[in-house]
A and B are shown apart, each in its own frame.
Chain A
């Protein structure tokens, strides 16, 4: 089910009303609300392909059993068994990911694999959102093992008396529909403490409205309108585009992927706030970055944090010498690339980012923390921004294009003059510039905080949101799925 579909609006309306019924104020308010949100999440996920719920159930029950055992052994100070269950649970999550996401990929690489086997592996469907809920599962297991989450349910699970309640809460964390299929990847230690009875009057409507309007605007007006044109880059008729069209379409795609994913994340934040939950921000105006290192602190922040906490640091981070640090950086970005999709092009995309991160680290290796914190001259910041934006945008080519051949055609066509395609130029400029204006606001917020604070909550701000709402209603693009749903 898509956030921008009628079915979803109906589901949202019904579940919102039922969630806050007077029964939610009673003794069993939390149980009621968690159950309602869980049921809504099951409908949301299983709407088009109910058979995928079985896989979700395996993940949910498997992670619940492991969590219960880990808590039990932690209470008994049996660290060896804790580690054993952590290993089992991580293997379960990675096995689900491996079988359903990477089997088709590896099937093509195993020499001598019988044709029928290869065909069978390649035919395994990719369950929507599997990359996200397996990462949620791993995060929960590790956080519990580290003792970073302790709650009432944990105690109940540890006594083994009310296991179903534990499963329900864990299921709620893994399945909560705003984050289920494309994040943000909310860690267990961020989410679990929030599980409690919620009251209608506590909803922060300002946050809900701002997040939903900005999110739907970025997705439906900016990303969906750009998508109709940028698809040209991936098709045979790319040859009809002039060099300027190609450059504008590439910039357009850069804005589209930002608007698509940042829009989704904002919608998720707004929806979660409607149900009384706070999600961390996932995008912090990433195209303001002045280095690739900074870019990854602003882009898909929940993934960056996940990779740092559960992969980079366990690999040794920067504590095992210079050479190992570079290797770890590269490895994390390589795997992060593969996480996006089971294709070499994603691995290439991640590797190139890893390479740039390594180069930046090498260039600034002698800079101390204090030096890094000092403001830089404007020209250096501008140069850094120019390099970062164009490097990121150029690398999106590996993300977007179906194969390296199409990338070759793109560069070849850059050399061949041609007639401008009106719609491509128009859309890239009009809708792309909206994403630029959005970032200009981000720059204003960061560099002119006083002015921005005056704007926040002013009539001018509500007018800006009114214009966005108007454009959602009148100028949305052709409905498209979210780009990150495929991951």
Chain B
């Protein structure tokens, strides 16, 4: 066989094998619904959520860190919820993507308050950079090359046996969301980078709020905070809530920790995450319903 014929045969074999692999992946992704937003990679877990969130029409977008990342969004088959959880990041990341138009604005934007100051003073998260790239856009349109369809991610999620099984039951709340503040802006001494982050958040919330998006601040049940961190978070919530006229919901105080299941000391298990999300949806609905 001549050299060019050998090359041709090799090329045809490669192509056939490639198509067969895509076929198997399509069965796993579309048929067995193994697509996932929780992979072995923080980068791709985050990207898969961002990709899911990039399509318009979400009822709720939840923006935060990996704590938010555990809530079942579109990447897990829950079409009403765009999850902007950034593993190792903060709510600032998702907010920035909405602000830049990478992610379409939802009806409700839920901002995680636990990690408002994660990564202050550091470079931008790689996943946020990745979300501006061409591969992200292609993955958003061709699901098989999207982050949620990575074969290793599907295998990892399968090994963890985590998935979304439809809606859970919302937790009953003694107190609903309410607008906080205003408070003395000097009540807490923020560092310059923290102040910068706070100003950035406030400006973006105001801008997004003007487009008709309603904003809810949520403190999730997660690991215990150090005294200064707690003080800083409360001061920031008061400022953001009053400036953006955004109601605040403290789920960490409202839901007893023993009624929740965590996979580690910080992150919620699938069932608890599902119930938390439904509690948030119920809170949003209650805010939309006019009260007498």
B266 at the interface (CB under 8 A from A): no
Expressed in whole angstroms, the Cα–Cα distance for A475 and B43 within the complex equals 12
User: Is B13's CB under 8 angstroms from A463's CB?
Assistant: yes
User: Is A209's CB under 8 angstroms from B14's CB?
Assistant: yes
Number of interface residues of A (CB under 8 A): 34
Expressed in whole angstroms, the Cα–Cα distance for A478 and B131 within the complex equals 12
Nearest Cβ distance between residue A479 and chain B, in whole angstroms?
Answer: 8
How does the 8 Å CB contact mask read for B179-199 relative to A, with 1 for contact and 0 for none?
Answer: 000000000000000000000
User: Is B14's CB under 8 angstroms from A225's CB?
Assistant: no
User: Is B10's CB under 8 angstroms from A478's CB?
Assistant: no
A469 at the interface (CB under 8 A from B): yes
User: Is B145's CB under 8 angstroms from A473's CB?
Assistant: yes
Q: A204-B7, A422-B40, A422-B156 are in contact. List 16 more A-B contacts (CB 8 A).
A: A209-B10, A209-B11, A228-B41, A427-B41, A457-B6, A457-B10, A461-B13, A463-B17, A466-B13, A466-B15, A466-B17, A469-B14, A470-B18, A474-B145, A478-B41, A478-B44
- B window 1-30: CB within 8 A of A: 3-4, 6-7, 9-18, 20-22, 25
- A window 445-477: CB within 8 A of B: 457, 459, 461-467, 469-471, 473-475, 477
Closest chain B residue to A469, Cβ basis:
B18
Chain A hits for B15, CB < 8 A: 466
Expressed in whole angstroms, the Cα–Cα distance for A457 and B12 within the complex equals 12
A382 at the interface (CB under 8 A from B): no
Closest 9 CB pairs of A and B: A466-B17, A462-B13, A470-B21, A478-B43, A463-B17, A205-B7, A423-B40, A466-B14, A466-B18
B42 at the interface (CB under 8 A from A): yes
A364 at the interface (CB under 8 A from B): no
Expressed in whole angstroms, the Cα–Cα distance for A206 and B11 within the complex equals 8
A91 at the interface (CB under 8 A from B): no
User: Can you list 21 A-B contacts with CB-CB less than 8 angstroms, sorted by A residue number?
Assistant: A205-B7, A205-B10, A209-B10, A209-B14, A225-B152, A422-B160, A423-B40, A427-B40, A427-B152, A459-B9, A459-B13, A462-B13, A462-B16, A465-B17, A470-B17, A470-B18, A470-B22, A474-B144, A474-B149, A475-B151, A478-B41
Closest chain A residue to B22, Cβ basis:
A470
Chain B hits for A459, CB < 8 A: 9, 13
Main secondary structure of the interface of A (DSSP, over half): helix
User: Is B10's CB under 8 angstroms from A206's CB?
Assistant: yes
Expressed in whole angstroms, the Cα–Cα distance for A427 and B44 within the complex equals 13
Chain B hits for A471, CB < 8 A: 151
B121 at the interface (CB under 8 A from A): no
User: Is B144's CB under 8 angstroms from A461's CB?
Assistant: no
Expressed in whole angstroms, the Cα–Cα distance for A447 and B284 within the complex equals 67
B213 at the interface (CB under 8 A from A): no
Expressed in whole angstroms, the Cα–Cα distance for A466 and B10 within the complex equals 10
User: Is A426's CB under 8 angstroms from B7's CB?
Assistant: no
Nearest Cβ distance between residue B149 and chain A, in whole angstroms?
Answer: 7
User: Is A462's CB under 8 angstroms from B7's CB?
Assistant: no
Closest chain A residue to B149, Cβ basis:
A474
User: Is B151's CB under 8 angstroms from A466's CB?
Assistant: no
Nearest Cβ distance between residue A39 and chain B, in whole angstroms?
Answer: 25
Closest chain B residue to A202, Cβ basis:
B3
User: Is B130's CB under 8 angstroms from A6's CB?
Assistant: no
User: Is A466's CB under 8 angstroms from B41's CB?
Assistant: no
User: Is A225's CB under 8 angstroms from B41's CB?
Assistant: yes
B159 at the interface (CB under 8 A from A): yes
User: Is B152's CB under 8 angstroms from A467's CB?
Assistant: no
Expressed in whole angstroms, the Cα–Cα distance for A42 and B162 within the complex equals 50
Closest chain B residue to A6, Cβ basis:
B134
Interface centre among B14, B16, B44, B156 (most CB of A within 10 A): B14
Chain B hits for A467, CB < 8 A: 17, 21
How does the 8 Å CB contact mask read for B150-176 relative to A, with 1 for contact and 0 for none?
Answer: 111001100110000000000000000
Interface centre among B9, B25, B40 (most CB of A within 10 A): B40
User: Is A206's CB under 8 angstroms from B7's CB?
Assistant: yes
- B window 126-146: CB within 8 A of A: 126-127, 130, 134, 144-145
Expressed in whole angstroms, the Cα–Cα distance for A474 and B29 within the complex equals 12
Nearest Cβ distance between residue A25 and chain B, in whole angstroms?
Answer: 19
User: Is A209's CB under 8 angstroms from B7's CB?
Assistant: yes
Chain A hits for B11, CB < 8 A: 205, 209, 462
A233 at the interface (CB under 8 A from B): no
A248 at the interface (CB under 8 A from B): no
Chain B hits for A423, CB < 8 A: 40-42, 156
User: Is A228's CB under 8 angstroms from B18's CB?
Assistant: no
User: Is B12's CB under 8 angstroms from A462's CB?
Assistant: yes
Chain A hits for B152, CB < 8 A: 225, 426-427, 430-431, 475
Chain B hits for A457, CB < 8 A: 6, 9-10
Closest chain B residue to A206, Cβ basis:
B7
A241 at the interface (CB under 8 A from B): no
Within 8 Å by CB of B43, from A205, A213, A228, A461, lies A228
Closest chain A residue to B156, Cβ basis:
A426
User: Is A475's CB under 8 angstroms from B18's CB?
Assistant: no
Chain B hits for A465, CB < 8 A: 10, 13-14, 17
Nearest Cβ distance between residue A130 and chain B, in whole angstroms?
Answer: 25
Closest chain A residue to B9, Cβ basis:
A462
Expressed in whole angstroms, the Cα–Cα distance for A43 and B44 within the complex equals 31
Nearest Cβ distance between residue A10 and chain B, in whole angstroms?
Answer: 11
Known A457-B6, A475-B151; contact A466-B20, beta-carbon cutoff 8 A: yes
Expressed in whole angstroms, the Cα–Cα distance for A462 and B6 within the complex equals 11
Known A474-B25, A474-B144; contact A426-B10, beta-carbon cutoff 8 A: no
